[in-house]
């Protein structure tokens, strides 16, 4: 029998056809199977339905994260005070020290941290795959977590053949055939995990010859990847070459592309992206820390969405990123006026625009605007219930529920999370997961596993030469070290 869930009597955040969010009070949402079946007041309860009392609570579309490296849990906290170059070596490159089993626990904990924060979909730029088994373990973990995701398959940005206490040897096999073959077969056999898991391409190798880049895009578009995603940001240290111009001149731009960051681009580059319906994922926390520049997601000339990027830098809440995007857009525009001795008449952006980046904007970015991102009959049942009566929410949730969610809610206020019609968080607590083979594990068990894995990864990291790896990155990426300056404050 098809399962059904009734979210009863909540305040439902409903997007109209113009994307304006209206709060429908005392409204029920009936979920049948994995779909939103009905939105109305006083829905008659079908037999066998699980009822979730939503009085005093806000029912929101699940949040959508369009740029995240979900494998990185064991690196959490190590990089809070590091620059981008430091992190590349001490963090990003450490996938070398992850076994496939480490990938599994990092990925599973990463997925669950996202669900805990109300995220129901992640575009996962998975760039830690040293072997086919690494990718297999990531996919297995995402499947077990229950998250909806597009697995944007990638290999390490700086692949190594060996890394010891005294040496680092880069691999000449940048585009290994096993990875291309595995990605192709995954793409052709998708969707996975009962339809929740689709396959994308994570690609950052634009230094390769034109015919190779075009060949990769053509091969994987033919194989049916849902999204192609790349890191794009211009700055004096990592180079000012235009990936946008390159993609445009190769004839590769299209609505299946999500560019993370897209910071410090010219107006002309943004115009090209906008016209080609390319979407951008701003990750305000990581962009602020790593000196990538002002987030662009709220700009009127950008098809915007939001991502967490690395949960090694910050928490996994898309609402936190929505707030940060709003504040930084205001900081940027206010500061420009203050610098001229002027003052803003009105602030840029608003709670509803920020909320839309986290919902409908994200859904469109990943080509799922007609399936997720809004509460609508016939849409997939990816829903979040936020408690409106917690200390943080009382006083604002009945004033304006959208402002309450964007401006005042925290992860602890996310009471229930439903993905694909299945409850994954209930009463403020993650529901246990079922691993391949049938073993059930509560969150505490996952935490124990990931902590143990973290210790082992850390021990291996202490056995590699970070200085030598830094020299390698500086050389390979033509980093202009003369531009790296001390900061005074
Ligand atoms: Zn990233």
pLDDT tens, residue by residue, 244-278: 999 999 999 999 999 999 999 999 999 999 999 99
Span from the CA of 158 to the centroid of ligand 1 (angstroms): 14
Residue 1 has pLDDT above 80, yes or no: no
Which residues contact residue 236 at a Cβ distance below 8 angstroms, ignoring those fewer than 6 apart?
480, 483
How many whole angstroms from 291 Cα to the centroid of ligand 1? 13
Q: Is the pLDDT of residue 487 over 80?
A: yes
Q: Write out pLDDT tens, residues 160-209.
A: 999 999 999 999 988 999 999 999 999 999 999 999 999 999 999 999 99
Q: What's the 379 CA to ligand 1 centre distance in angstroms? A: 29
Q: How far is the CA of 24 from the centre of ligand 1 (A)?
A: 37
Q: How far apart are the CA of 346 and the centre of ligand 1, in A?
A: 33
- Strand duo 63-68 + 57-61: pairing: unpaired
Residue of higher predicted confidence among 227 and 234: 227
Q: Which pLDDT does position 279 carry in this prediction?
A: 98
Question: What is the C-alpha to C-alpha distance for residues 140 and 107, in angstroms, rounded to an integer?
Answer: 9
- Return the bridge partners of 383, or none: 61, 418
Q: Separation of 101 CA from ligand 1 center, angstroms?
A: 22
Widest CA span in the chain = 70
User: What's the CA-to-centroid distance between 326 and ligand 1, angstroms?
Assistant: 20
**In terms of C-beta density within 10 A (0-12 exposed, 13-18 middle, 19 or more buried), how is residue 139 classed?**
buried
CA of 305 to the centre of ligand 1 (A): 14
| Domains defined along the chain, listed by start | 4-61+375-431 (2.30.40.10), 63-365 (3.20.20.140)
Residue 7 confidence class, pLDDT cut points 50, 70, 90? very high
In the structure, what pLDDT confidence band is assigned to residue 238 with cuts at 50, 70 and 90? confident
Q: What are the angstrom distances between the C-alpha of 377 and each of 14, 15, 37, 183, 370? A: 11, 12, 5, 34, 11
User: Residue 158 pLDDT > 70, yes or no?
Assistant: yes
**Mean pLDDT over residues 71-83, rounded?**
95
Cβ contact 69:128 at 8 Å: yes
Q: Hey, what are 70's tokens?
A: 């979900």
237, pLDDT greater than 90: no
Whether 430 contacts 111, CB under 8 Å: no
CA of 153 to the centre of ligand 1 (A): 13
Predicted confidence (pLDDT) per residue in 326-377, tens digit: 999 999 999 999 999 999 999 999 999 999 999 999 999 999 999 999 999 9
For the chain, what is the mean pLDDT?
96
- Ligand 1 centre to CA of 13 (Å) is 30
Q: How far is the CA of 67 from the centre of ligand 1 (A)?
A: 6
Task: Please say if the pLDDT value at position 472 is more than 90.
Answer: yes
**Considering just the CA atoms, what is the radius of gyration of the chain in Å?**
22
Determine the average pLDDT of the residues in 373-390: 98
Please name which of 172, 135, 170, 184 lies closest in space to residue 155, comparing C-alpha atoms. 135
- Tally of residues, the chain: 489
How far away, in angstroms, is 473 Cα from ligand 1 center? 17
Please tell me the distance between residue 179's alpha carbon and the centre of ligand 1 in angstroms.
20
| Average pLDDT of the segment spanning 460-487 | 93
One DSSP character per residue, 122-169 reads EEEEE---SSHHHHHHHHHHHHHHT-EEEEEE---SS-EEEE-SS-EE
pLDDT reading at 2 higher than 90: no
**Would you place residue 134 in the very low, low, confident or very high pLDDT band (cuts 50, 70, 90)?**
very high
214 has a pLDDT exceeding 90: yes
**What's the pLDDT score for residue 241?**
86
For 99, 249, 327, 334, the CA distances from 343, given in Å and listed in that order, are: 54, 41, 16, 7
Separation of alpha carbons 329 and 319, rounded Å: 15
- 310: CA distance to ligand 1 center in Å? 6
Q: For residue 240, what pLDDT band results from cuts at 50, 70 and 90?
A: confident
Ligand 1 center to residue 26 CA distance, Å?
40
Measure 260 CA to ligand 1 centroid, in angstroms: 7
Residue identified by tokens 């994260």 is 65
């Amino acid at each position: 029998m098809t399962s059904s869930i009734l979210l009863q009597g909540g305040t439902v955040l409903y997007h109209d056809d113009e994307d304006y969010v209206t709060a429908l009070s005392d409204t029920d949402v009936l979920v049948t199977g994995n779909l939103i079946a009905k939105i109305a007041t006083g829905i008659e309860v079908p037999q066998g339905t699980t009822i979730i009392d939503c009085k005093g609570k806000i029912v929101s579309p699940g949040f959508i994260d369009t740029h995240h490296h979900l494998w990185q849990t064991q690196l959490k906290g190590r990089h809070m005070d590091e620059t981008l170059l430091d992190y590349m070596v001490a963090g990003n490159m450490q996938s070398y020290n992850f076994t496939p089993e480490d990938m599994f626990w990092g990925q599973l904990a990463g997925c669950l941290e996202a669900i805990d924060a109300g995220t129901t979909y992640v575009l996962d730029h998975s760039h830690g795959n040293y072997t086919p088994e690494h990718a297999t373990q990531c996919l297995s973990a995402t499947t077990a977590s229950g998250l909806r995701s597009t697995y944007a398959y990638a290999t390490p940005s700086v692949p190594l053949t060996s890394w010891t206490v005294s040496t680092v040897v880069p691999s000449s096999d940048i585009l290994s055939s096993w990875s291309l073959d595995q990605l192709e077969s995954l793409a052709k056999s998708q969707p996975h995990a009962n339809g929740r898991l689709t396959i994308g391409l994570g690609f950052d190798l634009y230094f390769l010859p034109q015919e190779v880049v075009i060949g990769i895009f053509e091969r994987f578009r033919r194989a049916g990847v849902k999204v192609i995603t790349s890191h794009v940001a211009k700055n004096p240290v990592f180079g000012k070459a235009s990936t946008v111009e390159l993609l445009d001149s190769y004839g590769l731009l299209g609505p299946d592309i999500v560019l993370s960051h897209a910071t410090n681009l010219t107006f002309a580059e943004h115009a090209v992206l906008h016209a080609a319906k390319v979407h951008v994922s701003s990750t305000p926390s990581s962009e602020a820390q790593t000196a990538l520049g002002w987030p662009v997601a709220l700009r009127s000339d950008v098809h915007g969405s939001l991502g967490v990027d690395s949960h090694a830098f910050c928490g996994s809440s898309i609402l936190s990123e929505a707030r940060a995007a709003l504040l930084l857009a205001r900081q940027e525009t206010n500061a420009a006026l203050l610098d001229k001795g002027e003052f803003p008449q009105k602030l840029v952006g608003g709670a509803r625009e920020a909320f839309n980046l986290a919902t409908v904007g994200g859904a469109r970015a990943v080509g799922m605007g007609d399936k997720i991102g809004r509460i609508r009959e016939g849409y997939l049942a990816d829903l979040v219930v936020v408690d409106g009566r917690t200390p943080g929410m009382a006083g604002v949730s009945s004033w304006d529920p959208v402002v309450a969610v964007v401006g005042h809610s925290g992860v602890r206020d996310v009471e229930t999370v439903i993905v694909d019609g299945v409850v994954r968080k209930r009463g403020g607590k993650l529901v246990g997961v079922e691993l391949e083979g049938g073993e059930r594990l509560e969150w505490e068990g996952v935490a124990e596993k990931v902590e143990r894995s973290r210790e082992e990864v850390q021990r291996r990291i202490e056995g590699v030469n970070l200085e030598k790896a830094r020299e390698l990155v500086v050389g390979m990426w033509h980093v202009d070290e003369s531009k790296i300056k001390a900061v005074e404050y």
